[in-house]
Amino acid sequence: MSGLLINDISMRFDLPNGGHVQALKNVTLDIKSGELMSVLGPSGCGKTTLLNIVAGFLAPTEGNIQLNEEVVHGPGPERGMVFQQGALFEWMSVRDNVSFGPDMKGMSRAESKEKVEHLLDVVGLQDFKEKAVYELSGGMQQRVALARCLANDPDVILMDEPLGALDALTREKMQSLVLDLWKDTGKTIILITHSVEEALLLGERLLVMAPRPGRVHKEYRLPFADMGVGNDLREVKKHKDYGPTREEILEMIWNMEEEIMGRTEESA
Amino acid sequence: MTGLLVLALYVGAFFGSFFLAKAVFKSAFEKKGFNKLKTVTFGDESAITANRVASVISVITVFWLWVAFTNSVIPLPKFPGPFSGDMSFTYTAQLEDGTTDDATVTMRVYREDIQQTLDDEGNPGREPEAPEVEPGDGFAKNDSLTVARYSFKVVNVWANDEVSKRDGSSIVAINGEPIAPGESIKVGEGTIGLTDKGTPTFEPAVGLRMARLYLPAPEVVFQRFIWLNKEGYQGYTLLEHTWFSLKRVVLGFLIGAIVGVPIGYAMGLTGWARGWFDPIVEFMRPIPPLALIPLIIIWFGIGEVGKVVLLFLAALWIMIIAARSGVSGVAISKVHAAYSLGASKWQILSKVIVPNSLPDIFTGARVAMGVCWGTVVAAELVAANVGLGKMIVTASKFQLTDIIIVGIIIIGVIGFAIEVGMRALENWLIPWKGKV
C-alpha cells in the first residue's frame, strides 16, 4: 500500500513550570497517494505541529509516520515543504531557487535544466528566471516556492498556509494554480489553512481539528476540488452544497473558539 | 573667551547661511520626487534628505574659521592679527638729582615662524637686524631692538646710556605718561611695562590669531604635506607611514575575521562551541583594545607582530559576535525548506547559513575596520617605529603642529574612505540586504 500513514501520533510538550501541553493526541490518518487533504482548525489545535511531524522537523512522543510503508526519521526530499513566506533564498535568482533541490542531489544543471524550465513555464515565471527573488511580488514568490518544491519531485507536498500572506485576488489565482499542479503532477498534498473557503475549494479531503488536546474532530470528502480543476473557482462556489458545507464548518470552528474563550475566562 | 567667540561665530554661520542659502540656492530647498507631494515632512524622517548646500557651506565654514584664526595668506576675512613691523616709544629717564632726559626705543617685530618660512630660492628666513637709529642727545640714548611676534622682550634701555641703572638712572614715564615699577601701559602695537625692578618690557600685541605653534595656517599644513611626501619624516615618507598603518589594520582585521567568523558560526551551530567560547567572548569583548597595549608591548615588543596581534584582538570579538548573530538571524523556515529539499548539514551551512549571515558579518566588518583604524593610531601613539600615529606623536615632541594636523587629516580621510569602501562593497555583494 503506497501513501502516507500518520500512525497514532501523540505530541506532548513539557513546560518549564513542570506542566505540559498535549498538542496532539492519538491522531491517525491514512492519506492515499495523490490525495489533496486540507486541514482546518482554530489556533492551537496542533495542525502546524502535525505538519512539522510529517515533515520530520519534530519527533512525536508517540506513534510514527510511514511513507510508502517505511517509517520516516527527520526531514527528507521525498516530503517537500511550502511555507507561508520568507523561505526563499534571497541571494539566489529565481532559477537557482527552483533548481536548489536538484543541485543538492548533485545533479548537474544540464540534467535538471529541462525540469526547471518546464516548472518555470508552469508557474508562469519564465520571463523572471534571472531576477532576484526579492524583486518579485508576494504571489510570484509563492510561485517560486511551489516550483522549487516540485523540482525536487517529492512524494508528498506539505503546505503550511502557503497563500496566507497574499491578497484576496492573488490568492484566488494561486488556488487555481495549486489545483492544476495537483492534477497535473498527481502529488499527495497536505495543505494547512486558516481560510474555510480555501479548505473547501482545495481539499478533496477536509480535516477539521479541535484543540486541547489537538485531535481530529471531523472529516469531509468534498467534490469541489475536482470541479475546480481547470474551471473558474467562482463557479464552484455556486454549487448547491458549497454554501451549507461552509456554514457548517464555520459554525463548528466558531463554537470551538467560543469554548476556548470561555475556558480562558473561567481560569482567569 | 576665544572659545565662546568661535562658538558664537559657528552658531551664527549655521543660521545665517541657512537664510542666505535659502535666498540664493532655492532649488536645493525644494523637496524632490515623491516627497514633493507630501504635505507633512516634519516628523517624517524618510522625507528628510541631506541638503548638500549645507554640507558644502559647513565644510567651508570650518575652513574659514581655521583661516580666520591664523596668519594665513589666504584672502578670507580674518580676525585682528598680531602686530608686525616697526614701532617706537619714548621713555623718560630720571637721575637721582632730578634731571630727566627722553629717548626713543624702536622695536622691530618680526614673524615668530621666520625660520620656518622659505624664500623663493628655498632658503629659510632669518631673524631681522635691529633698525639703525641715531643715538640722539642727552644722557639717555635712543635704542633699537628686535622681538618676535607672540613673544616678549626685556628692554635694557641703559645699555647705551651715559648713566646706567646702577648709577641711579630710573624710568619714570613712557610716551610722557608717568609709570611706576610693576605697571604697564597699552599702545596700539603692544604693551609697554616696567618690571618690578623698573626695567622696561615690550610685548607686541597678539590680536586674536593663533601662533603657528598652536594652529598653523592651511597653506602651511599643505606645504608640510608636500614636504612630507618628498622628504619624509623620521626616515619614512608620508606614504610609507600611511601604508604601514593601513597594512597593520588590514592584516589584523583579516586574521581577526578569518579566525572570528568560523568561531561565530560554531557558536551559532553547536552548544559545545557556544559554551566554550561564551565566557571568553563576553569577558574580552568589553575590554578596550587600548588597555591591552602595555601587555602586547611586553609580550611582542613594539614591532609589527605586536600591532597585528592587537588589531587581531580588536577585530576578533566583533567578528565572532557578528557571525553568531548572522547564524541566529537565519529564518528557521529557510533552514527547514533546505532540509526538505534534501540539503545535507554541510550544504545547509554553505548554501543557506553563510549567505544569509553575510549582511550581519558585513555590518560587523564595518564596525571592526573602524575600531581597528582607531586602535592602530592609538597603538602607534604609544609605541612604534613607523606609522601615522608614530609620525604624530614624534612631531608633537618637536612642536611641529603642522605635521600633527597633516596626520590627523589623513587619518580622518582614510577612516572615511574605509567606511565608504565597505558600504560600496556591501551594496555590491549583498544587494538583498534590507529588502527581505
Residue with cell 495537483: A182
Q: What is the pLDDT of residue A43?
A: 79
Does pLDDT of A267 surpass 60?
Answer: no
Same domain for B59 and B90: no
Give the CA angle between residues A86, A92, A95 to the nearest 5°: 100
Nearest to A35 by CA among A145, A152, A155, A143: A155
Q: Are the beta carbons of A86 and B344 separated by less than 8 Å?
A: no
In a domain, A120, yes or no: yes
The predicted model scores a pTM of: 0.81
Beta carbon pairs, A and B, within 8 Å: 77
B342, B344, B352 ranked by CB distance to A89: nearest? B352
Residue with cell 545535507: B344
Same domain for B251 and B296: yes
Q: How far is CA B116 from the centre of its chain?
A: 21
Assess contact for B245 and B102: CB atoms under 8 A: no
Does pLDDT of A266 surpass 60?
Answer: no
Nearest to A85 by CA among A43, A142, A31, A29: A142
Residue with cell 492519538: A26
In a domain, B210, yes or no: no
In a domain, B104, yes or no: yes
How far apart are the CA of A140 and the nearest CA of chain B, in angstroms? Answer: 14
Does pLDDT of A265 surpass 70?
Answer: no
Same domain for B148 and B9: no
SS3 content of chain B, % helix, strand, coil (to 5): 55, 10, 30
In a domain, A60, yes or no: no
Alpha-carbon distance values, B177 to A101, B97, B184, B186 (Å)? 102, 20, 10, 11
In a domain, A112, yes or no: yes
Same domain for B156 and B32: no
Strand-by-strand arrangement of the B100-110 sheet: B143-148, B100-110, B85-94, B170-174, B177-178
Cis peptide upstream of residue A60 (ω within 30 degrees of 0): no
Give me B413's grid cell.
580621510
Return residues 65-94 of A near B (CB < 8 Å).
74-77, 79-81, 83-84, 86-91
In a domain, B75, yes or no: no
Predicted complex ipTM: 0.89
Q: Are the beta carbons of B334 and A89 separated by less than 8 Å?
A: yes
**Residue of chain B whose alpha carbon sits nearest to that of A90:** B432
How far apart are the CA of A144 and the nearest CA of chain B, in angstroms? Answer: 13
In a domain, B211, yes or no: no
Q: Domain containing A148: what range?
A: 79-153
Same domain for B302 and B161: no
Per-residue pLDDT of chain B (436 residues; tens, 9 = 90+): 778 888 999 999 999 999 999 888 888 888 777 877 888 778 888 788 888 899 999 999 999 999 999 988 889 888 888 998 999 999 999 988 888 899 999 999 998 888 877 777 778 888 888 888 888 888 889 999 999 998 899 999 888 888 888 888 899 999 988 999 999 999 888 999 999 988 999 999 988 888 888 899 999 899 889 989 888 888 899 999 999 999 999 999 999 999 999 999 999 999 999 999 999 999 999 999 889 988 988 998 888 898 999 999 999 999 999 999 999 988 888 999 999 888 889 999 999 999 999 999 999 999 999 999 989 888 888 888 889 999 999 999 998 899 999 999 999 999 999 999 988 998 888 888 776 6
Same domain for B244 and B100: no
Q: What is the pLDDT of residue B281?
A: 94
Give me B176's grid cell.
610722557
Q: How far is CA B94 from the centre of its chain?
A: 53
Mean pLDDT, rounded, of chain A: 84
For B368-403, b/e burial (b = at least 16 CB within 10 A) is bbbbbbbbbbebbbbbbebbbbbbbbbbeeeebbbb
Same domain for B59 and B106: no
Q: Which of B335, B336, B341 to mutate to test the interface with A (most CBs of A within 10 A)?
A: B341
Cis peptide upstream of residue B124 (ω within 30 degrees of 0): no
A76, A132, A152 ranked by CB distance to B431: nearest? A132
What residues have CB less than 8 Å from B32, skipping those under 6 apart? B49
Q: Domain containing B269: what range?
A: 220-429
Amino acid at B339: Y
In a domain, A146, yes or no: yes
Domain count, chain A: 1
Residue with cell 470541479: A227
Nearest to A224 by CA among A247, A207, A248, A240: A240
Domain count, chain B: 3
**Helix H segments across B149-231?**
218-230
In a domain, B76, yes or no: no
Cα separation, B142 vs B163, in Å, equals 13
Cα separation, B295 vs B156, in Å, equals 56
In a domain, A169, yes or no: no
Q: What is the pLDDT of residue A66?
A: 85
β-pair partners for A71: A66
Same domain for B194 and B229: no
- Last residue of one domain, picked from the residues B42, B68, B94: B68
β-pair partners for B144: B106
Same domain for B242 and B194: no
Instruction: With H, G, I as helix, E, B as strand and everything else as coil, classify residue B202.
Output: strand
Q: What is the pLDDT of residue A264?
A: 61
| B362 or A123: which leads in pLDDT | B362
In a domain, B168, yes or no: yes
pLDDT tens per residue, range A135-151: 888 888 888 998 898 88
In a domain, B215, yes or no: no
pLDDT > 90 fraction of chain A, expressed in percent and rounded: 2
Same domain for B36 and B129: no
Q: How far is CA B411 from the centre of its chain?
A: 9
**Residue of chain A whose alpha carbon sits nearest to that of B354:** A91
How far apart are the CA of A256 and the nearest CA of chain B, in angstroms? Answer: 29
Q: Are the beta carbons of A76 and B340 separated by less than 8 Å?
A: yes
In a domain, B213, yes or no: no
Same domain for B416 and B335: yes
How far apart are the CA of A92 and the nearest CA of chain B, in angstroms? Answer: 9
pLDDT tens per residue, range A162-197: 888 888 888 888 888 888 888 888 888 999 988 888
**Residue of chain A whose alpha carbon sits nearest to that of B332:** A87
Q: Which residues of A touch B342 (CB under 8 A)?
A: 76-77, 101, 104-105, 152
Same domain for B322 and B297: yes
In a domain, A192, yes or no: no
How far apart are the CA of A104 and the nearest CA of chain B, in angstroms? Answer: 5
What phi and psi, each to the nearest 5 degrees, are found at residue A84? -60, -55
